Amino acid sequence: MFGALKRSLGLAATRSQGLLAAGGGRRWWSLAGQSRACAGTPAALQLRDEFLELNHEGVSMCLNYVWLRDHCSSDSSYNSTTNQRKLDTSSIDLSIRPDTCTVQDGHLVLTWPGGHVSKYSHSWLAENSYEGKQKSIVQPRVLWNSDIYENANIPSAKWETFMSCNDELKNFLQNYLVYGIAFVDDVPATVEATEAVTQRVSLIRETTYGRVWSFTSDFSRGDTAYSQLSLDRHTDTSYFQEPCGIQVFHCLKHEGTGGRTLLVDGFYAAEKLRQQSPENFKLLAHVPIKHDYIENTANHQNHMTGIGPVLNVYPWNNELYLIRYNNYDRSVINTVPHDIVHRWYMAHRDLTTELRRPENELWVKLTPGKVIFIDNWRVMHGRESFTGLRQLCGCYLTRDDVLSAARCFGLQA
Ligand SMILES: [Fe+2]
């Protein structure tokens, strides 16, 4: 495990060199005498032993032959009505090579042994190749500290319009995707209205806390959230193998003082760490950490465990997509040896320092009518202590369905 961890931390360059070297003996494809589309692009296409190299608008793509056959969009290989593959991938000869290869009108055209023809547009290949994905981001975001967020003057959606107008919902989703938080104002201060406003966005994810929960500081559950104590910044349900994607809060009533909500953009802090110490960032992105939720009260018994690194990045472009940060629920660290443990604590301290910088803290007073949606994979929440009766309700939403709703509006998610 230790060796594997060291390798994963240090051998990215070696692995990519290995990939580059995998072509072996070079076999150049002659374009002489082929269609006119090839004219002027004699170096655009090269056939190697296991892959084809295509240059498009300055991007050199290495396209594996099995991958190309697997991604054929012909009617016999792909059902464009259901957007599902028809081809049985296991039927592809793993040593397959095209018999002929041409470039025609912005398309790559391959004829395979047996006569099957596959056609791919250069733009599709550029967008879907590994090299193309390395250069693109999955989710455009604006990372923020409190000044950046406040100066952006992001408008809140309004209940009446939000519930009936798709443009209002689309704008809300766009703000949510870009900033990781979004608000709806003027919502009736009831559990029912809160449920309705969340269902306008997505499906509710039921958990051990129920579907839509409503609680006061009565310690009815074995969790600090059910008290009047302050809560440091954290992400929720880090003890789930897949933490809840979206958190919704609505303060229905508060007769007392304090209780402001703290919001911190975890990705902003993590990117600061990446700039200051790439090694510490890598360590937090590789060491698996356990979080546990153990509850043993008269009415509730639970023991849930989630395992994963604090920082989660897409391996092809190193883009952050999930942060698990909950010092309350973090469990025993026993997945790496002692020297890595010490380095991990140093890295964790540096991240915590960034997360706790006062300029990174956005404090919001949630009042009846103001519903907040928080990207629980990115933005941390906490609260200051409070006095008096405070009734809060909320729920979790399924991340897949929120992102799906955004994509159906044409938003990048
Ligand atoms: Fe929480």
The answer to whether position 404 is within a domain reads: yes
In a domain, 140, yes or no: no
Q: What is the CATH number of the domain that holds 360?
A: 3.60.130.10
- The position carrying tokens 């809140």 is 156
More confident position, 29 or 180: 180
CA of 142 relative to ligand 1 center, distance in Å: 23
Q: Are residues 152 and 90 part of one domain?
A: no
Distance of CA 231 from the midpoint of ligand 1 (Å)? 8
User: 306 and 212 in one domain?
Assistant: yes
- Give the bridge partners for 293, in sequence order: 304
| Contact predicate 103/375, CB 8 Å | no
Give residue 338 CA to ligand 1 midpoint distance, Å: 30
Q: 387 and 280: one domain?
A: yes
Question: Ligand 1 centre and the CA of 389: distance in Å?
Answer: 19
Dig out the tokens for 180 from the structure. 């990781």
Q: What is the pLDDT of residue 346?
A: 98
pLDDT of 63 > 50? The answer is yes
Do 130 and 153 lie in one domain? The reply is no
Judge residue 89's burial from the number of C-beta atoms within 10 Å of its C-beta, 0-12 exposed, 13-18 middle, 19 or more buried: exposed
Q: What is the pLDDT of residues 257-290, one digit of tens each?
A: 999 999 999 999 999 999 999 999 999 999 999 9
220 lies in the same domain as 281 = yes
By residue count, the chain amounts to: 413
Q: pTM of the entire structure?
A: 0.86
Please identify every residue whose CB atom is under 5 Å from ligand 1, which is an ion. 236
CA 309 to chain centre: 14
Alpha-carbon torsion, ordered 141, 5, 329, 318, to 10 deg: 0
Last residue of a domain, one of 110, 134, 158: 134
323 lies in some domain: yes
Render pLDDT for 33-47 as a digit per residue (tens, 0 to 9): 232 233 334 448 999
DSSP 280-322: HHHHHHHS-EEEEEEEE-SS-EEEEEEEE-SEEE-TTT--EEE
Q: Say if residue 231's pLDDT is above 90.
A: yes
Q: How far is the CA of 354 from the centre of ligand 1 (A)?
A: 19
**176-198 tens-digit pLDDT:** 999 999 999 999 999 999 999 99
pLDDT tens for 67-108 read 999 999 999 999 999 999 999 999 999 999 999 999 999 999
- CATH number for the domain harbouring residue 105: 3.30.2020.30
Q: What percentage of the chain carries pLDDT values higher than 90?
A: 81
Question: 235, 166, 164: which is closest to 382 by C-alpha?
Answer: 235
Give me ligand 1 centre to Cα 223, in Å. 10
Measured between alpha carbons, how far is 171 from 154 in angstroms, rounded to an integer? 10
Q: Is 106 left (phi over 0), alpha (psi -120 to 50) or beta?
A: left
- Are 244 and 355 contained in the same domain? yes
Q: Are residues 160 and 62 in the same domain?
A: no
Ligand 1: distance of its center to the CA of 251 in Å?
14
Q: Domain count of the chain? A: 2
| Assigned domain for 343 exists | yes
3-state secondary structure 42-56: CCCEEEECCEEEEEE
CA distances to 60, 68, 76, 98, 109 from 35, rounded to whole Å, are 22, 21, 26, 17, 11
Distances from the Cα of 247 to the Cα of 168, 169, 185, angstroms: 20, 17, 16
Residue 139 within any structural domain of the chain: no
Residues 102 and 21 in one domain: yes
Boundary of a domain, candidates 104, 134, 164 = 134
Residues 261, 295 within the same domain: yes
Amino acid at 336: V
In this structure, the answer to whether residues 31 and 76 fall within a common structural domain is: yes
Task: Give me the pLDDT at residue 220, please.
Answer: 63
CA 247 to centroid of ligand 1, rounded, Å: 9
Which of 70, 105, 134 corresponds to the end of one domain?
Answer: 134
CA 330/CA 352 separation, integer angstroms: 14
Question: What pLDDT, on the 0 to 100 scale, is given for residue 219?
Answer: 60
- Running DSSP on this structure, what letter comes out for residue 169? H
Residues 118 and 152 in one domain: no
Mean pLDDT of 377-389: 94
CA of 242 to the centre of ligand 1 (A): 15
Residue at 311 is within a domain: yes
What range does the domain containing 343 cover?
146-408
Q: Is the pLDDT of residue 1 over 80?
A: no
Q: Are 247 and 381 in contact (CB under 8 A)?
A: yes
Token couple for 354: 């960034």
Average pLDDT score over the chain = 88
Q: Could you count the other beta carbons within 10 Å of the beta carbon of residue 155?
A: 13
CA atoms within 13 A on the CB side of 77: 16
Residue 5 included in any domain: no
Same domain flag for 29 and 129: yes
Q: How far is the CA of 407 from the centre of ligand 1 (A)?
A: 28
For 311-351, write each residue's pLDDT tens digit: 999 999 999 999 999 999 999 999 999 999 999 999 999 99
142 burial type by CB count under 10 A (0-12 exposed, 13-18 middle, 19+ buried)? middle
Assigned domain for 4 exists: no
